[in-house]
Amino acid sequence: MRSIDFVAVAFALLGSLLPGSTASADTGEPSTPLADRQLPAPTSPTNTCASCHATLTDPKLRSPAHEFATSVHSDDRIGCVGCHKGDARDPTVAAHSKAAGFDPHPTHADVPGICGGCHSDAAFMRRLNGRLPLGQLALYSLSLHGRLSVEGDDDAPNCAVCHGKHGILSPASPRSPVNRANVDKLCGGCHGDPKRMTKYGIRTDQYDKWSKSVHGVAFRAGNLKAPTCTGCHGAHSSAPPDTASVGRACGRCHEEELGFFEQSPHSKGFRERGLAQCVACHSNHDIAPASALMVGTTPDATCMKCHTQDEKPRKVASDISELLRGARDGAASARAEFARAETKGLHVAGAGFALERMTTAELRVRGIVHTLDPARVQARVAAVDASAAEVFQLVAAAEQARRVERRGYFVALALAGLVLGTLVLKSLQLRRRRLGEP
């Protein structure tokens, strides 16, 4: 198929050189013989490929030039020859000579080598853009995608599948498929497609699960710090974390939780039983928001997945659950009290800070739960209670201030009434005097 394409290109170009040839091979539109064509000024003195292809009538030959013009590779030091080789200084069809190494259609397996040829060349990349990383090809070679590609699997993604071909944009561009905001759709496009995934025997529900998870919901709500696929699996080195190391992947963000987990009795128990650290309780793609309901002895509590019979763990779960519910209810009533005051139009000075302190204290409670030590949980719950009490205190103070202000209003109103009464009396006195009454 690729050789046929090449022949078609070659014939199209040669055909356009033949005397009397007035139509493009593919479109049938009249075209000017290349030798007679008045070439526009080339976009650069060394890249005549783009300036010539931009004028061709066949969309297949023209569009790469247009796409390339806005790509991140549109640079004199790279140009079309960076990937396709050939002689870009030759404005004639001889630029496509095999002697110059011209390759119109690099194969799927060739692509990583072509891209990596530059992107692994430290001297070249440092000259071109000192900010760019260098190890992508090495990382890709280690990844499942890279290994499959090397084995000749043309369905395994190579560089061009994710980054694009001629119109490659900087990953910082919002239009780039590998931009932080788009990468979930890029991965989900293949991994959510049962047709593509059948031959690998892997599930296709990860993307849907992630979309509904606490991470996916936060990401969709605009929090670009929430992890997408690459956050846990890596980008060029993409591979699923294994059971023993998954905690490290989560711990990149949830550092405190991982630290507390490793201090807990669970750490040893999980290792011995081969359980995945965080995943055993929180799942992997469909991670639900953490809540006080996860801990406890109720049938739907996560602890009961393993500890239905054990007396001591059930006692710990029950104690921690009680503490968590107390903190949750205390914080909820403090928030409700603040909302009630706000609805009444009351300004509660300092309550915003107290509420933020309370939220931080709640997050710290979530972390310490992983120690499974009720005494340590109690210490952090006390901080939540203290902030909640502060909110109640501030609302009460604001209400008292409002009452004092209201009293001031009524005093002013009474004074105005007094002045009004005096003026009415004076007016009546003047009237009587005018009418000569006693």
Binding site for other proteins (CB under 8 A): 345, 347, 349, 405-406, 408-410, 412-413, 416-417, 419-420, 423-424, 426-427, 430-431, 434
Q: Residue 356 has which token pair?
A: 């933020």
Q: Please, which residue, 13 or 341, has the CB nearer to other proteins?
A: 341
Q: Please, which residue, 77 or 426, has the CB nearer to other proteins?
A: 426
Q: How far is the CB of 408 from other proteins (least distance, A)?
A: 7
For the four alpha carbons of 235, 237, 239 and 245, in that order, the dihedral sign comes to: negative
Q: How far is the CB of 353 from other proteins (least distance, A)?
A: 14
CB contact set of 3 (below 8 Å; sequence gap of 6+): none
Q: Is 23 helix (H, G, I), strand (E, B) or coil?
A: strand
The one-character DSSP state at 11 is: H
Q: How far is the CB of 347 from other proteins (least distance, A)?
A: 3
Q: Please, which residue, 269 or 417, has the CB nearer to other proteins?
A: 417
Q: Residue 127 has which token pair?
A: 């000259």
Whole-angstrom CA distances from 313 to 2, 260, 277, 297, 341 are 65, 17, 18, 10, 42
Residue owning tokens 């430290």:
122
Q: Please, which residue, 265 or 408, has the CB nearer to other proteins?
A: 408
Q: How far is the CB of 352 from other proteins (least distance, A)?
A: 12
User: What is the length of the chain?
Assistant: 438
Q: Please, which residue, 259 or 350, has the CB nearer to other proteins?
A: 350
The one-character DSSP state at 30 is: B
Q: Please, which residue, 11 or 353, has the CB nearer to other proteins?
A: 353
| CA atoms of 381 and 292, how far apart (whole Å) | 12
Q: How many other CB atoms are found less than 10 A from the CB of residue 172?
A: 10
Q: Residue 91 has which token pair?
A: 């404005």
For the four alpha carbons of 232, 237, 239 and 241, in that order, the dihedral sign comes to: negative
Q: Please, which residue, 122 or 409, has the CB nearer to other proteins?
A: 409
Whether 272 and 240 have beta carbons less than 8 Å apart is answered as: no
Q: How far is the CB of 413 from other proteins (least distance, A)?
A: 5
Q: Please, which residue, 130 or 409, has the CB nearer to other proteins?
A: 409
How many Å separate Cα 30 from the centre of its chain?
48
CB contact set of 137 (below 8 Å; sequence gap of 6+): 112, 115, 116, 119, 120, 236
Whole-angstrom CA distances from 261 to 53, 187, 232, 283 are 61, 31, 19, 16
Q: How far is the CB of 412 from other proteins (least distance, A)?
A: 7
Whole-angstrom CA distances from 233 to 245, 246, 251 are 12, 10, 13
Q: How far is the CB of 338 from other proteins (least distance, A)?
A: 14
CB contact set of 45 (below 8 Å; sequence gap of 6+): 89
Q: How far is the CB of 409 from other proteins (least distance, A)?
A: 5
Q: How far is the CB of 405 from other proteins (least distance, A)?
A: 7
Q: Please, which residue, 4 or 409, has the CB nearer to other proteins?
A: 409
Q: How far is the CB of 40 from other proteins (least distance, A)?
A: 39
Q: Which long-range contacts (CB under 8 A, 24 or more apart) does 362-369 make?
A: 362/327, 362/328, 362/331, 365/324, 365/327, 366/257, 366/290, 367/256, 367/257, 367/260, 368/260, 369/260, 369/295, 369/320, 369/324
Q: How far is the CB of 346 from other proteins (least distance, A)?
A: 8
Q: Please, which residue, 340 or 431, has the CB nearer to other proteins?
A: 431
| CA atoms of 433 and 438, how far apart (whole Å) | 7
Q: Residue 159 has which token pair?
A: 């560089």
